[in-house]
Structure 1
Amino acid sequence: MIRINMKGLAAAALAACIVTSGLSVHPAFAQGGEQTVNWTREDVSKIELNQDNTLPYMDVSKLEKMAPGYHIWDTWPLLDRDGNIASYKGWKVIFSLSAPNTVLPGKVHDIATIRYFYSKNGKDWTLGGELFPAGTALGQRQWAGSAMLDGDQIHAFYTATGREGQAQLTYEQRIASAAGRIVADSTGVRFENWGQHRVILEPDGKYYQTKEQAQQGEGGGYAFRDPMWFKDPKTGKEYLLFEGNSGGAVGERSFKPEYAGSGEYLQQHPVPAGAVHANGNIGIAEVVNGDLTNFKLLPPLIEANYVNEELERPHVVVKDKKYYLFTDSHINKYAEGTHGPEGMYGFVSDKLIGGYKPLNGSGLVLANPPENPYQAYSWLVTPELNVVGFAHFGDLDNLTIGDVGNQSPEFQFSHFGGTLAPTVKISIKGDRTQIEKVLPQGWIK
């Protein structure tokens, strides 16, 4: 346990005076008045599954395989420059990470490729093929990202994972982009005339942990991925949000009372030493002078130090002039001494940078049911408040996600979804959310 002396308690009491629902001032913003928010241990202690946030049971084995011959998982729609779902000559487009369905589910991330689908009605999808010509994308494989359409030009942002050309599989993550042209006619959609692929963001080691920092000391993860396009409707400024980890090696990390929450909570709930390994954050970078190959790293929007290791696929939806920041996380990514479900979490603020408070008191927006805790994952909220996710592992009985890889290939394939899950419609009112209904698979708009 981390023991807090009287001096520490005084600091915690002071923190309680200036912290509301986990909100605290990041040193990097001290002069500018902007804020990085802590998602605290006290916040997540309030997580409670109820009818407003718990998904109904889903039989993964009965879902339609939307891409015959392939597993698909993380999925995102083509957006216009303002962040709306784009329509080009009547076609909508979604993108998914994919791998041949002969590959074991636990190995799909090692060979992930981005494929796309197109649809006239936003619910019946035709597989178009690989987004990029083979061998042109950066990295040993590509992980999740986003795509924005400006006229007939597509700007694709993605995670370049591993170094291209290296024989050994590595997990270095860089954010890359490429621009191409969309072409559509009555038969469908294709992409062509791709320009040079570029690395546009790498972790700086200060706000965002580098791979080398992550490798110093045991435990903890590493993330610098999932770029998501966003244009602030109030300011017109353009950004990428992404998943990161707070900068520095684990040995350089020190506990701060605001990571726990209020002083009272900290006194009653000592923080285990092992919690130091959790340092997930939600990052943001600003487009410089309208140049979509030039981004400036900003301090993170959210930090979950001593709380959670991964805040995946962050994205913002604006509703009623409020900013709703959503992210996904796993059961096994919570810090020692904290607990939460496989779920989508969210925060609300009156502005893009600063002021975020957890939705529903804890941050939890939706979660898998306890009887099927891994049935879906990687949720993304569209501007219409439709939540798209993929079917993960179903009906594992008492197995954890870490046990699945030890089972037979037949077991793994039969319990893995590898396709889109039914879309979920949510409602938002102020700082409260609610699951309204379940829609068909692939329902985007």
Structure 2
Amino acid sequence: MQRKENERMNTDPAKTDDGKLSWTAGDLAGLDLAACSRAPVLGQKDVRRVADDIDVWDAWPLADASGKPVPWNGGELWFALTAPRADDPESRHGLARIHHFFREGDSFRHLGQTLPEGFTPGSREWSGAARVEGAHLALYFTVVGERGESAPTFRQRLFVTRCSLAEDPDAPFGQWSDPREILEPAGPYMAAEETEGRIGEIKAFRDPFPWRAPDGAEYLLFTGSAAAAPRAFNGLVGLARLDDTSGTYRPLAPLVDATDANNELERPHIVEHAGRLYLFWSTQAKVFAPGITAPTGLYGATAERIEGPWRLLNGHGLVFANPESEPFQAYSWWVLPDLSVTSFADYWGIDDATAAQKPEGRTHFGGTFAPFLKLSLSGECAALT
């Protein structure tokens, strides 16, 4: 298998004249499902709820500019999307709020809701990132819908707010600054303004992730949809660069274009390792275009600099997948600079997607932090250790 991977990786990356990497059905045709790296199966002891009354999913740490979690109160400060525990776990997307948690070793303790109710201009909050910037904590996040709307809509916008940070776990945040929109959809990026839809099928303008280049330039990665291809499968990993004068970001060509292959390249982020940049994103089997057989998993690409050229990891992009017997057990992977990987326990103990829609779906939904995994990276190869 290693020889075949090397043969694929020695070919030129599929890229357009503007430098973006095109991720295609042809790339994924080289994916050997029988030999790909798989996460270990989760058992009951691995699914430890952090709180009885809330479900927890997409998570990220308070980090420095390199993405490394910063020490806080003898441990680490983390953020995640949460919603009240409900009979239908899928209803959480219409109720999502960012909460914060204290991590010490392998355990997480729930501390509370991060932003005041009614603070942001949307009806809910979706994923982002948190970074220490000078004396402040900067929280980048997705505003979804409109404040006060009677039914959830799916307009998505990218915002940041800042505050001072204290060591007191009962009152960690100073006064938050007014939330400020940092990038508007333009150029290659479609506005995500649907009033109704289904998760996995809606368009994307979300998941902001700030990244600082070695030369000090500030970039923003995000999940986007291609304006030039307004169809069912047009996912992008978007890129923008900070304008020091205006304090807002200027859209650039996307890093990855999955038009006609995949609809959602979610929660993109970059890790620097051994002199290379590693770009990671999560996606689900159900959002690949018809005719493409690829699993729910962590995918990625690598380059020596942000401008590229980017090459798919392992020749096809897949880093690792959920177990074949547990295809839905975890999702939303986030790689840290030490190559540890967090995610959340999704639907575990089932191998049939329809079971999640039945009353017993609640029983099989984890709604909590999953055990950390560990990656091995070497050039253009990546796998679980």
2:365 corresponding residue in structure 1: 416
Equivalent in the alignment of 1:335: 289
- In structure 2, what is the equivalent of residue 232 of structure 1? 213
Report matched runs for 1:59-98 at 5 Å: 59=43, 63-88=47-72, 90-98=74-82
Equivalent residue, structure 1, for 2:221: 241
Matching of residues 206-217 of structure 1 within 5 Å? 206-211=187-192
Q: 1:192 aligns with which of 165, 168, 174?
A: 174
Compared CA separation, residues 318 and 208, structure 1 to 2 (3 A): same
Alpha-carbon displacement from aligned partner over 1:319-340 (angstroms, at most 9, x marks no partner): 1111100001011111122111
Q: Aligned to 2:308, what secondary structure does the other structure show?
A: coil
Q: What's the CA shift for 1:246?
A: 0.7
- Determine whether 1:128 maps to 2:111: yes
- Match of residue 301, structure 1, among 248, 251, 255: 255
CA contact (8 A) 2:99 2:112 kept: yes
Name the stretch that deviates more: 73-82 or 306-315: 73-82
What does residue 33 of structure 2 align with? 49
Q: Is the 8 A contact 2:144 2:156 kept in 1?
A: yes
- Alignment partner of 1:201 is 2:192: no
- Could you report, residue by residue, the CA deviation over 1:80-118 in whole angstroms, capped at 9, with x for unpaired residues? 134322124544111010011135211000000000012
User: Relative to 1, partners in 2 of residues 1:110 and 1:48: Cα closer, same or farther, differing over 3 Å?
Assistant: same
Q: Confirm whether residue 319 of structure 1 aligns to residue 273 of structure 2.
A: yes
Residue correspondence of structure 1 range 251-270 to structure 2 within 5 A: none
2:384 corresponds in structure 1 to 435
Give the equivalent residue in structure 2 for 1:40. 24
Counterpart for residue 279 of structure 1: 234
Report what 2:3 is aligned to: none
Tell me if the contact between 1:159 and 1:175 (Cα under 8 Å) persists in the aligned partners.
yes
**Alignment match, 1:5:** none
Deviation at 1:20, TM superposition (A): 4.4
Q: Cα 1:214–1:430, aligned 2, differ >3 Å: closer, same or farther?
A: farther
What is the alpha-carbon distance in structure 1 between the residues aligned to residue 211 and residue 22 of structure 2? 22
- Report SS of the residue matched to 1:194: coil
Tell me which amino acid in the other structure corresponds to 1:377: Y
Question: 2:314·2:381 contact (CA, 8 Å) conserved in 1?
Answer: yes
TM-score, length-scaled by structure 1: 0.79
Structure 2 stretches lacking a partner, 5+ long: 1-9
For residues 366 and 307 of structure 1, the distance between their equivalents in structure 2, rounded to whole angstroms, comes to 18
Q: What is the distance in 1 between the residues matched to 2:47 and 2:201?
A: 34
Number of residue equivalences: 374
CA contact (8 A) 1:283 1:299 kept: yes
Q: Indicate whether 1:145 and 2:128 are aligned.
A: yes
Answer yes or no: is 1:173 the counterpart of 2:156. Answer: yes
> TM-score under structure 2 normalisation?
0.91
Note the C-alpha offset of 1:370. 1.3
- Which residues in structure 2 correspond to 1:356-371 (within 5 Å)? 356-371=310-325
Q: CA RMSD in A?
A: 2.3
Give, in angstroms, the shift of residue 213 of structure 1. 8.9
Amino acid at match of 2:363: S
User: By how many angstroms is 1:427 displaced?
Assistant: 0.8
The structure 1 residue matched to 2:243, chosen from 280, 288, 299, is 288
Secondary structure in 2 matching 1:277: coil
CA distance in 2, matches of 1:102, 1:114: 17
Higher normalized helix content (fraction of residues):
1
One of 14, 17, 24 as aligned partner of 1:23: 14
